[in-house]
Amino acid sequence: MIKTSPNKKLLSLKRQPLILVIFSSLSFLLILFRLIFLQLLNYESFKKMSDENRIRLIASQPIRGKILDKNGYVLADSRVKYSLIVKPQSVIKSNWEKHKLSVSTLLNIDSNEIQKKYSDGLKNQKLSVSILDDLDVEQLIKFKENENNLVSFEIATKLIRNYPYKSLAAHVIGYTQPITESEFKFLSKKGYKLNDLIGRTGIEYVHEEFIRGEWGGEMVEVNSLGKFQRSLGTRPPVQGNDIELTIDLNLQLVAEEALKDKKAGAIIVMDPRDGAIRAMASKPNFDLNFFSKDFKPEKEYNNLFNSPNKPLFNRALNAYDPGSVWKIVTALAGLESGKFPRETVLETKPCITYGSQCFREHNDLGFGVIGYEDALRVSSNTFFYQIGHGVGVDEIHKVSRKLGFNSLSGIEISEQENIGLVASSEWAREGRGWGQPGRTPWVPEDIASMSIGQFVVQVTPIQLARAYAAIANGGYLVTPYLTKKDGKDFSDKRRIKIEIDPENIQLIKSGLRKVVESGTGVSMNYGVSNLPPVSGKTGTAEDGEGGLDHAWFICFTPSENSELLVVAFAQNTPGGGSVHALPMAREILKVWNEKK
C-alpha cells in the first residue's frame, strides 16, 4: 500500500482555493459574455421575438386603387363586404348570453351556432371569430340601429375587388387572386398577408405595386398564455393609387357590342399619332367578378379555365394569318428594294404557277395591267405574287421588321402577347421551328404565300395596328400603351422614325384611300354620313391551322392628319373582311365621330 506524504497533502489543500477561484472566474466570464450577447449584440432580435410573443396584429385590409378610363369612369374599384364578428377574449361574460340571444333574434341566426363559434374561439385563443359573412343591407342597418345594446359583437369589413362593367375590357384590366402559400414565403417581405390579393393579369398585374396600398390594423397585447390584455392602438391602412387608362369607355362599349355576334375575334382602337389605346376588345371574354367570389362553382370554373374556346386568351395580342392586310408590307418591300419603283405596272392573271401549284387571283380572272394603288384598291393577289417573287423573302422580312413585326409591341400587358412569325431564308434553313437544320429549305410556293400574308406569316392585331399607324402618321413607329402617367401621354418618347422613303409611304397611303373610295372597302360609306375621309384595307385569310377563314379590316381617319385607327378581326368567320370585319370598324367610327 502506497502512502501519501504529509507535504503532498498540504500542497493539495493549498491548491483547492486557487482552482475554485479560477473555476468561478471562468463561470462568471461565460455568464458575462452570454449577457453581453443577449443584451447588447442581439438586443433587437430578442426584443422583436419578445414583442411577437406578447403583441398581436388584427390586420386591416387596404383599399386597392381604382382603375379609370381616360374620362374618369370607374372600370375597377373595391366593394365592401360586411361580416358580423366577435372577439372572444374581449367579451364581458356577464353580458354574453343577453347579447347572443338578441343578435340571434335580430339577424335570424341560430344561437347554438353563435355559441359554438364563440366557444371554439375561446378554446383556440382566437382574437377574432366570424359569426356571419357578407351581411346584406337590411341586416347591416338592423345591427347598426341596435349596436349600443350588442357591444359583444362588431362589424368587420373586407374589401372585394369589383368590376362594374363585368366583362368589359376584361383582358386589359385583368384580375386579382389570393396569393398562395409558396408565394407568401417571399411576398411576406413586401408586406403581403396570407390570402392577400395580388394582380394576376392585365393592368392589375402590371401596376400591382402602384395600386395595391398598405395594410393597417389594431395592435393588441396578450399575456404568456395568449389571452387579450389591452389594445395598443390602431394604424389605418393606406389606400392604393388610382390609375388612369387611355381607354375610352364609349369606344370600348361599342367595340364589345360589335363583337357580340362573332364566334371569336378582336378589335383595337388606337391613336396612330402616339399609340394610345382607346379600346381593346377580345371575344370570347369573361366576367372579372368571378375571381372575387369566395366560392367558385365548378361549372363556371371549367367554362373559364378548361373551355376549348379559351376565353382567357387575348386575341388582340395573339398571332394569326393576316391575309390581304399584309399586302402593304410586300408593296413597301418592292418599292424599297428599287426593283419595283413607284411607276411599276404589272399584268394580273387568273393564276400564276410557283413550284407545283398555280396560285389564283381571287376573282379567277385578273384585273388587267395595274399599278400599286389599284392593286391595293382591288386587292389583287397576282400583282403581289410577282412583287414578292421579284424581291425575295428576305427583303419582305427586312421591311416587316422596320414596321415592328416579329417583335413585341411594347404594350404594358406583354405577358399576354405573342411575338408572331415572319419567315426568312435563315428561318427555313434552321428547320422552320420544328424540323432539323438543312432539311426544310425555302421553296417557291413559300414566296407566293408570304406575299399575300399566308402560312409563313403569323402576326397579331396589335402589330398590324403599329404598321398601319406608321402609314397613317407619315413614317413613325409608335409604341402602343394603355396607361397615362402623371397626366402625360409621352408621345414624343413613343415615336421612332422608320427608315422607309416618305414618298413610298405616301403611295401606300393613296392606295388605301382608294380602297374605301371605290375598292373592296367601299361599303364603309354605306348608311353613314358626315364621316371624315377614311383609308383602309380589307383582308380574308385562310387559317393556317385548318379552320374557317379569318376576316380583317384595318382603317384610319381622317385620311390625312389621322386621329383614329381601327383594327377589326373576326376569327374563323368566312365571307370576307368587307362583309364581317368592316361593319365592326364602321360602328366604332360612327360613335367616335358623334362623340367628337
Quickly tell me which residue has 396600398 as its cell. 213
With 90 as the cut, is the pLDDT of residue 193 above it?
no
Residue 24 exposed, middle or buried by CB count within 10 Å (0-12, 13-18, 19+): exposed
Question: How many other CB atoms are found less than 10 A from the CB of residue 372?
Answer: 28
Task: Write the pLDDT tens digit of every residue in 484-525.
Answer: 864 444 444 578 999 999 999 999 999 999 999 999 999 998
C-alpha to C-alpha distance for 207 and 357, rounded to whole angstroms: 51
Give 117's pLDDT tier (boundaries 50, 70, 90): very high
With 80 as the cut, is the pLDDT of residue 222 above it?
no
Give 301's pLDDT tier (boundaries 50, 70, 90): confident
C-alpha to C-alpha distance for 538 and 380, rounded to whole angstroms: 12
Domain borders along the chain are: 57-245, 249-284+315-595
Decide: pTM greater than 0.85: no
Cell of 51: 414583442
Task: Write the pLDDT tens digit of every residue in 368-379.
Answer: 999 999 999 999
DSSP string of 186-200? HHGGGT--TT-EEE-
Cell of 202: 392585365
Give 11's pLDDT tier (boundaries 50, 70, 90): low
The three-class DSSP label of residue 108 is: coil
Quickly tell me which residue has 372577439 as its cell. 87
DSSP string of 244-295? EES--HHHHHHHHHHTTTSSSEEEEEE-TTT-BEEEEEEES---GGGGG-SS
With 90 as the cut, is the pLDDT of residue 41 above it?
no
C-alpha to C-alpha distance for 551 and 568, rounded to whole angstroms: 8
Beta strands in 438-534 (DSSP E): 457-458, 476-478, 483-484, 495-497
CATH code for the domain defined by 57-245: 3.90.1310.10
Question: How many other CB atoms are found less than 10 A from the CB of residue 343?
Answer: 7
Task: Write the pLDDT tens digit of every residue in 460-482.
Answer: 999 999 999 999 999 999 999 99
Give 224's pLDDT tier (boundaries 50, 70, 90): low
Asked whether the beta carbons of 70 and 244 are under 8 A apart, the reply is yes
Mean pLDDT along residues 428-453: 93
Cα–Cα separations (whole angstroms), residue 576 to 360, 367, 512, 551: 16, 19, 17, 5
C-alpha to C-alpha distance for 131 and 477, rounded to whole angstroms: 59
Mean pLDDT along residues 55-74: 84
C-alpha to C-alpha distance for 222 and 259, rounded to whole angstroms: 59
Asked whether the beta carbons of 103 and 150 are under 8 A apart, the reply is yes
Sort residue 388 into left (φ over 0), alpha (ψ -120 to 50) or beta: alpha
Asked whether the beta carbons of 370 and 316 are under 8 A apart, the reply is no
Tell the CATH superfamily of the 249-284+315-595 domain.
DD-peptidase/beta-lactamase superfamily (3.40.710.10)
Provide φ and ψ at 46, rounded to 5°.
-70, -30
- pLDDT of 431: 94
